[in-house]
Amino acid sequence: MSQTPFLPFALPEIGEEEIAEVVDTLRSGWVTTGPKARRFEQEFVAFLGGDDSLQAIAVNSATAGLHLALEALGIGPGDEVITTTHTFTATAEVVRYLGADVKLVDIDPATLNIDPAAIEAAITPRTKAIMPVHYAGLAVDMDAIFAIADRHGLKVVEDAAHALPTTYKQQLVGLLRSDAVVFSFYANKTMTTGEGGMLVTRDAQLAARAKVMRLHGINRDAFDRFTAKVPSWYYEIVAPGFKYNLTDIAAALGLHQLKRLKGFQARREQIAARYDEALSDLPLILPPRPDHEGDVHSWHLYVVRLSDDTPVTRDAVIDSLFADGIGVSVHYIPLHLHPYWKERYDLKPEQFPHSQKAYERMLTLPLYTRMTDDDVERVITAVRKALA
């Protein structure tokens, strides 16, 4: 076992500005959803460069945002939603919250993103929506997704948990013509609020419904109720809503993380480029780059795959890296291998050959802004040793 300090797989970068803003929030007495959550929503729209029609709704997780988006679109029992098997379970589980069914499909073996041809083949009369996932921070072929949605009259909700600030054809994810886009601010994401997410939409009705359902189905904003100059105790419950609001403590982090996001992405890009350069001669498939000139990859994850002729197994490589004090992960164990999804839909690995093969050969290397150049070189040295 290595005597050098363990290098974690991921760590957030929290600065003095974030800490001061959180302290200010605690001192203000407004610790739940209030003025800073609202400001965070406004600044998020400004960051995306959206017009007046774009609305951002802060929530306590991307899972909550996906659930709210599908609920607002009327997805329910008897409906089907198509998404990729190669994702975290949250993408699919929100469909089941609503009593609808999930149709899992395979990925493109080059990009590891959802395969548009597989989507087309999976559509039935019950299909109501497509949920593409921008895997690792690389944009999905959204033109192909929109073409399918237009042909079949389907809604599109983008799972953009990995995709801030990813672009598709020079447009930020969040500004495309989907019905809704959901970002994650979980601790290991490209920016963080600890736990948290943002639902972005241009659909005024969807936004209105999501805002009501975000906080118990109350027809008035809590912030407005508690800051009004006249008695404002009266409200009405218009639906059986959820408890999905983002706190001001979390938003305080987000306000400053958002300001630093472009710098964060530049550092991630730099680390990814160094990995590409140093690992290109090894029996590895390195992460794909964007198809379109000038597009931005968020580099949430740096996923490598062992080539067919690699002399060691994926698990042996992971064991070697851990022995050298390097934290790694696997993204993901595909949904078709998990007991719930496998049993509910009678899924078999041969239905998803590209996802299955990728899973068996992939591992994710550390890539985060707190890594020093020496940390990056440590990872490179350990990978080269593991594959020797």
The amino acid present at 24, given as its one-letter code, is D
Q: Which pTM value belongs to this model?
A: 0.97
Average pLDDT, stretch 1-30?
93
Q: Where in the chain is the domain with CATH 3.90.1150.10?
A: 261-386
**The pLDDT of residue 221:** 73
Answer yes or no: is pLDDT of 1 > 60.
no
Burial of residue 118 (number of CB atoms within 10 Å: 0-12, 13-18, 19+): buried
Handedness of CA 372, 302, 197, 49 (dihedral sign): positive
Distance between CA 196 and CA 254 in Å, rounded? 9
The amino acid present at 77, given as its one-letter code, is P
The string of pLDDT tens digits covering residues 316-360 is: 999 999 999 999 999 999 999 999 999 999 999 999 999 999 999
Please answer whether residues 217 and 237 qualify as being in contact, where contact means their C-beta atoms are separated by less than 8 angstroms. yes
Q: What is the CATH number of domain 16-258?
A: 3.40.640.10
The string of pLDDT tens digits covering residues 302-324 is: 999 999 999 999 999 999 999 99
Burial of residue 382 (number of CB atoms within 10 Å: 0-12, 13-18, 19+): buried
Please answer whether residues 156 and 130 qualify as being in contact, where contact means their C-beta atoms are separated by less than 8 angstroms. yes
Average pLDDT, stretch 271-281?
98
Which positions are annotated as active-site residues? Answer: 189
Average pLDDT, stretch 256-273?
98
The string of pLDDT tens digits covering residues 125-142 is: 999 999 999 999 999 999
**The pLDDT of residue 329:** 98
Average pLDDT, stretch 269-276?
98
Answer yes or no: is pLDDT of 274 > 60.
yes
Q: Where in the chain is the domain with CATH 3.40.640.10?
A: 16-258
**The pLDDT of residue 233:** 82
Tokens representing 45 are: 């729209």
Axis crossing angle, helix 248-279 with helix 373-386, rounded to the nearest 10 = 50
Answer yes or no: is pLDDT of 368 > 70.
yes
Please give the share of the chain, as a percent, with pLDDT higher than 90: 94
Q: What is the CATH number of domain 261-386?
A: 3.90.1150.10
